């Protein structure tokens, strides 16, 4: 049965603004009241102990380590729970949620796909559900939606600091907060109430003027910016948008922009509090949060100070922006739509689209879905259907149910769309694609990532990123060179059909509907400590964690130097979190002083450290060198740099961050 959206009890999801403002003032007092950016205000209002952290009265972006207290943690599937369990606590120190969204394979439609995936992944879902019950975590079961859409609809709030165990956690920045994607061990810091460490990021100011018009959407803003900044341009930096161009965009549009900040490597992205954020909070049952945010904003919290300084300033006039198509294989290869046809031609690619995919956490808002429905209505009236498979993943049960009620689903299905489960599906490669196997082909998606094989496992699939409306228009044409702003599609009658620019609705005029009630967790659940966390004894996917041994234990004849270690692999090219997910758990990251040394080490070589002992003993200016023994017996030494803070060295000494946290707690 469907239920309408009631106003929620917002006690656990409203940031403690009075406390945050007080903390911020204490930091201002230490730093001498200079103007601050919005990102700085949010970060500094979450410093665990300003007097201790900033005892020398200095805070330098890019240098100072901040010890922060995040207010919430969101976890996608099995990501931090085993680590948390190994800390030995009976409940989480902050509110947390678990979201089952990455394991649902798209085969032939929402219901059968969901049922099949629940069976094949039962042991993972049983584990997550039982762990949620034991530790008092909100459990969003498979089919309830994609983590970032659910966070935006339920938990995000202006001025909040949140961690999530997924790269696109920054999506929640659309509500004017800082949401940061981290690994499981970092999430455990927040879950155990241990201050979480972050090197104060640099801040890139992005000044938006003008207004998006015609076919240009918020997706095109971030696609354009990705082309400017490249996949490295945001590393160690927060993207902070400001200016009049922020205030005429929808909250969900801003979330799309924040979502894809991950593609330029940014720590996160944020925006000042806007009327559209207020409207979105109210429409999603959180008017009390918006009232509290109004009050905090009136006290100067939710926007940058006049005169705040940025490390880099970028100007973008939204009125001049045209749709962009980025790819293939990298999100920063941006081509304006008007030049895309000739780009395809120059590359010698076949002028043929093989599939269009819309939705995902990046682009499945009500505004996105009603915009594509508008195009579908126009095409249907001309007697057209999509020429290629056209798949749609709604971001949440709330979006799916509201689409269904407002006949958006009907019109999409009328023109040939297959609506998939409320889950990641093809965005994370959960797509049982039967056509084009091992064949070069081109797909267009409204998703955020496009490295090789990401969607269908086929390295020859060229995957281009675009707004959902461009994907939809192209799906009707079937050609990569089609520009819906200027081109028309021939009809069997001999007439020509041309799209009018799409019109979507920011928020549903009848309000959102929550959809099927069983998809929703009970809010603020209490831990049930007698619950047995279910891990199958013969599981190939889950295992209780035994603590890592400290590498400096009795068994290591080298004492406080790392034992002789074999190089497992050398990676090259553009790495995403999918490639480096193994780099996890109390490792010692070292940088090459001379980049050329990178090529001198290969898999199978043996390395030993020299200088870690000095580091661990706190010797001033300690350096670490690496002694390398090649497989052919050749030996040499290379200098390195490290960026570990005093606290991170404690993890190294303990054998892992988890070992350190456990010893602190118990």
Q: Is 187 in the site for ligand F3S (CB under 6 A)?
A: no
Least Cβ distance, residue 648 to ligand F3S (angstroms): 28
Least Cβ distance, residue 149 to ligand F3S (angstroms): 8
Q: Is 357 in the site for ligand F3S (CB under 6 A)?
A: no
| Number of residues located near ligand F3S, criterion CB under 6 A | 14
Q: Is 83 in the site for ligand F3S (CB under 6 A)?
A: no
Least Cβ distance, residue 349 to ligand F3S (angstroms): 25
Is the Cβ of residue 169 or residue 270 nearer to ligand F3S in the bound state? 169
| CA neighbor of 641 nearest in space, from 594, 586, 583 | 594
Q: Is 428 in the site for ligand F3S (CB under 6 A)?
A: yes
Integer Cα distance of 154 and 363 in angstroms: 17
Which range binds ligand F3S by CB under 6 A, 24-32, 294-302, 424-432, 517-525? 424-432
Per-residue mark of binding to ligand F3S, 88-107 (x: CB under 6 A): -------------xx-----
Is the Cβ of residue 315 or residue 578 nearer to ligand F3S in the bound state? 578
Q: Is the peptide bond before 95 cis (omega within 30 degrees of 0)?
A: no
Q: Is 147 in the site for ligand F3S (CB under 6 A)?
A: yes
Q: Is 424 in the site for ligand F3S (CB under 6 A)?
A: yes
Per-residue mark of binding to ligand F3S, 448-487 (x: CB under 6 A): x---------------------------------------
Which range binds ligand F3S by CB under 6 A, 119-127, 140-148, 490-498, 570-578? 140-148
Which range binds ligand F3S by CB under 6 A, 277-285, 423-431, 564-572, 634-642? 423-431
Q: Work out which of 54, 100, 124, 146 binds ligand F3S, going by CB under 6 A.
A: 146
Is the Cβ of residue 69 or residue 217 nearer to ligand F3S in the bound state? 217
Q: Work out which of 134, 168, 237, 400 binds ligand F3S, going by CB under 6 A.
A: 168
Is the Cβ of residue 117 or residue 194 nearer to ligand F3S in the bound state? 117
Torsion-angle region of residue 525: left (phi > 0), alpha (psi -120 to 50) or beta? beta
Please report the beta strands in 402-460, taking only residues with DSSP state E, as ranges in sequence order.
Answer: 417-419, 441-445
Integer Cα distance of 310 and 33 in angstroms: 16
Least Cβ distance, residue 446 to ligand F3S (angstroms): 10
Least Cβ distance, residue 420 to ligand F3S (angstroms): 11
Cβ-in-10-Å burial (0-12, 13-18, 19+) of 601 comes to middle
Please report the beta strands in 244-336, taking only residues with DSSP state E, as ranges in sequence order.
Answer: 268-270, 312-317, 324-326, 334-336
DSSP 386: -
Least Cβ distance, residue 552 to ligand F3S (angstroms): 38
Is the Cβ of residue 38 or residue 357 nearer to ligand F3S in the bound state? 357
Lateral strand order in the sheet of 312-317: 268-270, 237-242, 202-209, 312-317
Q: Is 360 in the site for ligand F3S (CB under 6 A)?
A: yes
Least Cβ distance, residue 109 to ligand F3S (angstroms): 18
Integer Cα distance of 371 and 408 in angstroms: 10
Is the Cβ of residue 15 or residue 426 nearer to ligand F3S in the bound state? 426
Pairing of strands 334-336, 324-326: antiparallel
Is the Cβ of residue 166 or residue 397 nearer to ligand F3S in the bound state? 166
CB 97 within 8 A of CB 137: yes
Backbone angles phi, psi at 238, to 5 degrees: -105, 135
Which range binds ligand F3S by CB under 6 A, 141-149, 342-350, 376-384, 484-492? 141-149
With H, G, I as helix, E, B as strand and everything else as coil, classify residue 129: helix
Is the Cβ of residue 179 or residue 649 nearer to ligand F3S in the bound state? 179
- For residue 81, count other CB atoms closer than 10 A to its CB: 27
With H, G, I as helix, E, B as strand and everything else as coil, classify residue 433: coil
First to last CA, the chain: 46
Integer Cα distance of 172 and 192 in angstroms: 22
Integer Cα distance of 492 and 477 in angstroms: 13
| CA neighbor of 277 nearest in space, from 264, 268, 286, 266 | 286
Least Cβ distance, residue 428 to ligand F3S (angstroms): 4
Is the Cβ of residue 360 or residue 469 nearer to ligand F3S in the bound state? 360
Integer Cα distance of 359 and 372 in angstroms: 10
Q: Is 38 in the site for ligand F3S (CB under 6 A)?
A: no
CA dihedral sign, ordered 300, 301, 305, 306: negative
Q: Work out which of 40, 129, 153, 166 binds ligand F3S, going by CB under 6 A.
A: 166
Exposed e or buried b for every residue in 122-137, given b needs 16+ CB within 10 A? ebbbebbbbbbbbbbb
Integer Cα distance of 199 and 555 in angstroms: 34
Positions touching ligand F3S (CB under 6 A) are: 101-102, 146-148, 166, 168, 360-361, 424, 427-428, 447-448
């Amino acid at each position: 049965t469907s239920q309408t959206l009631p106003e929620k009890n917002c006690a656990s999801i409203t940031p403690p603004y009075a406390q945050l403002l007080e903390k911020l003032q204490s930091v201002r007092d230490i730093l001498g009241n200079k103007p601050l950016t919005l990102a700085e205000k949010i970060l500094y209002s979450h410093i665990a102990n300003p007097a201790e952290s900033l005892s020398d009265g200095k805070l330098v972006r890019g240098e100072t380590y901040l010890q922060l207290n995040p207010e919430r943690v969101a976890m996608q599937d099995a990501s931090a729970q085993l680590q948390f369990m190994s800390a030995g606590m009976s409940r989480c120190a902050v509110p947390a949620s678990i979201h089952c969204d990455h394991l649902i394979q798209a085969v032939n439609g929402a219901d059968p796909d969901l049922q099949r995936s629940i069976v094949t992944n039962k042991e993972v879902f049983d584990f997550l559900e039982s762990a949620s019950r034991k530790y008092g975590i909100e459990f969003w079961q498979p089919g309830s939606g994609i983590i970032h859409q659910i966070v935006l609809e339920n938990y995000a709030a202006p001025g909040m600091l949140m961690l999530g165990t997924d790269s696109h956690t920054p999506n929640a920045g659309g509500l004017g907060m800082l949401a940061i994607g981290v690994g499981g061990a970092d999430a455990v810091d927040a879950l155990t109430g241990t201050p979480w460490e972050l090197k104060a990021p640099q801040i890139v100011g992005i000044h938006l003027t003008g207004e998006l018009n015609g076919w240009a959407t918020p997706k095109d803003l971030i696609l354009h910016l990705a082309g400017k900044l490249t996949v490295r341009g945001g590393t160690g930096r927060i993207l902070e948008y400001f200016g009049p161009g922020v205030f005429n965009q929808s909250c969900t549009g801003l979330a799309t922009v924040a979502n894809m900040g991950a593609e330029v490597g940014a720590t996160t992205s944020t925006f000042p509090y806007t009327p559209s954020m207020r409207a979105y909070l109210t429409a999603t049952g959180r008017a009390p949060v918006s009232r509290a945010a109004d009050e905090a904003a009136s006290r100067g919290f939710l926007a940058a100070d006049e005169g705040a300084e940025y490390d880099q300033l970028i100007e973008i006039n939204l009125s001049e922006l045209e749709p962009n198509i980025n790819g293939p294989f990298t999100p920063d290869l941006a081509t304006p739509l008007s030049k895309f046809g000739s780009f395809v031609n120059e590359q010698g690619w076949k002028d043929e689209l093989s599939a269009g995919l819309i939705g995902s956490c990046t682009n499945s808002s009500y505004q996105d879905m009603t915009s594509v429905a508008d195009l579908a209505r126009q095409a249907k009236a001309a007697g057209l259907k999509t020429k290629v498979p056209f798949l749609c993943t709604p971001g949440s049960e709330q979006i799916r149910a509201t689409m269904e009620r407002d006949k958006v689903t009907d019109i999409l299905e009328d023109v040939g769309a297959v609506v998939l489960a409320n889950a990641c599906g093809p965005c994370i490669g959960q797509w049982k694609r039967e056509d084009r196997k091992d064949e070069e082909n081109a797909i267009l998606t409204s998703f955020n990532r496009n490295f090789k094989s990401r969607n269908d496992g086929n390295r020859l699939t060229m995957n281009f990123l675009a707004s959902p409306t461009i994907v939809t228009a192209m799906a009707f044409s079937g050609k990569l060179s089609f520009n819906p702003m200027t081109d028309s599609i021939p009809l069997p009658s001999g007439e020509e059909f041309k799209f009018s620019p799409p019109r979507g609705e920011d928020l549903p005029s009848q309000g959102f509907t929550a959809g099927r009630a069983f998809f929703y967790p009970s809010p603020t659940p209490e831990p049930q400590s007698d619950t047995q966390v279910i891990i199958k004894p013969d599981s190939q996917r889950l295992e209780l964690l035994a603590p890592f041994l400290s590498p400096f234990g009795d068994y290591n004849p080298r004492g406080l130097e790392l034992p002789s270690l074999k190089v497992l692999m050398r990676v090259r090219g553009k790495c995403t979190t999918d490639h480096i997910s193994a780099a996890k758990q109390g490792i010692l990251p070292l940088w090459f002083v001379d980049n050329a040394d990178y090529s001198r080490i290969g898999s199978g070589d043996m390395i030993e450290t020299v200088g870690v002992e000095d580091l661990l003993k706190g010797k001033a200016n300690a350096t670490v060198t690496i002694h390398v023994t090649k497989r052919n017996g050749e030996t040499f030494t290379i200098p390195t740099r490290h960026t570990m803070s005093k606290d991170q060295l404690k993890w190294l000494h303990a054998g892992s961050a988890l070992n350190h946290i456990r010893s602190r707690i118990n």
